[in-house]
Amino acid sequence: MLKSPLLLKMVALLGCMLLLLVPLSMLRGLINERADYRESVDQSLSQSTSGAQKLVGPLIAIPVTRLTTVLENDKTVTRERTSIYYWLPESLIVQGNQDVENRNIGIYQGQIWNNALEMKARFDTSRLKDIQGLRRGKPWVTFAVSDSRGIGHVGALTINGQTLDIEPGSGLSQGDAGIHAMLAEEALEAKQLDVALSMTLKGTGEFALVPVGRNSELALISNWPHPGFLGNFLPEKRDISPSGFSAQWKSSWLANNLDSRFSASKLQQLPAFSVMTATPVDQYQLTDRAVKYAVLLIALTYMAFFVFETLTAQRLHPVQYLLVGTSLVMFYLVLLALSEHVGFNLAWLIACLACVGLNGVYLQGILKSPKSSLAFSAGLLALYGVLWLLLRSEESALLLGSLVLFVALSVIMVLTRHFDWYAVTLPKGKVLAGTENGDDDRLRLWE
């Protein structure tokens, strides 16, 4: 049994498969390394311009002083405690136009977005009944952002038609970025306050708006065709096309409970409308997914060769198996290298044709049969086509993969359904009992 040609051949093929796992592992490491280089582009752009932005505002901050009576040393003492009262708007409407610009660093590409925003908010002074009877300081209108470097042009800030002077810093807490404007206390005597501001805000990655209004709306139009809608609220309406996207968000305090959750010290934890200029599935993700199917591709190729060997008694050396397997691994390396320059689709086509052509020429020299080499080349081309479908149909990948394996198993079973496997297990030169007279010379295999 240990000298069986069938067993020896299977062990040799298994050894070839195990050897090919080494370059495949190295290839996946290379893919991760190149992907890390790609990620560093986004970090470089963020460091050079501004990062993800979260916009909070407008809201009005009012310093208030409360008198509290405490008992100290059996004496009643009156103390003052000053805090900030945050007045949130009744309605907030924001309209934005987003322009996304590609930036190249070497062979890699990242995106910077620039939002032109028009903000309108309405404040109801009846909300101030919560601080009636308290001593009030001078209030200010404030807008907070995550990264002040992204603040571009800031238009006039008006309240009930009156223009206010804008100062840097949000004033909400120590070091918070943004802008603010001091507000005259007399303005709080009006029945309502209408606040309007236009500004441009630049950033990378995510843009988020905290819906501080009792009723908040955000309408955003962009030229980027690959948005990623994240955060706590999905847009109620969205339209995505190759030329860009448009989206509309709506929320209220009934949904987000923001009036009681608002805290100036936890701005980055507040729920928000969010959208990201997401990079579509890039060549590194697609190549890494393709490499996961490499073992299946090599196994099916080896299986086809083995069945061909078994049915025709055409012997292939394990080194020839190993060379063919190495060429299949080289396909992924060529794919990775080309995809960084010509895109994944064209790189796939070039690498596929190169690999199929190489194996076709090599098999022609081994098999001495144009028909057989063309058949194997066509089969390999079909496997690459199926692999392409697996990559492009992630939701149906399991179904397609199962069908491929089922079809491969069915073909092998049909082709070998009349084959006598006991004959293949005999040592070289021996025949089964009863066939010594040459009645069944087809059983003399591997000679």
Tokens (6 digits) for 212: 């501080």
**pTM, full prediction:** 0.72
Which two three-digit tokens encode residue 253? Answer: 């305090």
Q: Looking at per-residue confidence, does 8 or 140 come out higher?
A: 140
Place of tokens 């144009």: 370
According to DSSP, the β-strands at 91-105 and 215-222 are parallel
CB 197: neighbour CB atoms within 10 A? Answer: 24
Confidence (pLDDT) at 67: 75
Is-contact 159 183, C-beta < 8 A? Answer: yes
pLDDT tens digits along 38-57: 777 777 878 888 889 999 98
Query: C-alpha angle with apex 120: 115 to 124, nearest 5 degrees?
Result: 150
What pLDDT does 428 receive?
52
Sign of the alpha-carbon torsion through 395, 401, 407, 410? negative
Neighbours of 22 (CB within 10 A): 10
- Whether the pLDDT of residue 3 is over 90: the answer is no
Highest mean pLDDT among 225-234, 309-318, 347-356, 407-416: 347-356
Q: What is the pLDDT of residues 151-181, one digit of tens each?
A: 999 999 999 988 999 999 887 765 678 999 9
Q: Which of 41-50, 140-149, 265-274, 414-423 has the lowest mean pLDDT?
A: 414-423
Q: What is the pLDDT of residues 78-110, one digit of tens each?
A: 777 888 888 899 999 999 999 999 887 777 778
pLDDT number for residue 445: 38
Helix or strand or coil: residue 241?
strand
Q: Assign 441 a pLDDT band (cuts: 50, 70, 90).
A: very low
Please tell me the predicted confidence (pLDDT) of residue 154.
Answer: 92
Q: How confident is the model at residue 353 (pLDDT cuts 50, 70, 90)?
A: very high
Residue 302 contacts residue 17 (beta carbons within 8 Å): yes
**Residue ranges covered by each domain of the chain:** 5-38+283-416, 49-277
Confidence at 265, pLDDT banded by 50, 70, 90: low
Terminal-to-terminal C-alpha distance of the chain: 17
Residue 439, pLDDT > 50, answer no
The whole-number average pLDDT for the span 360-384 is 85
Task: Tell me if the domain spanning 49-277 has CATH number 2.60.40.
Answer: yes
Alpha carbon separation from 337 to 29, 324, 331, 389 (Å, rounded): 14, 20, 10, 21
7-11: long-range contacts, CB 8 A cutoff, minimum separation 24: 7/425, 9/306, 9/309, 9/318
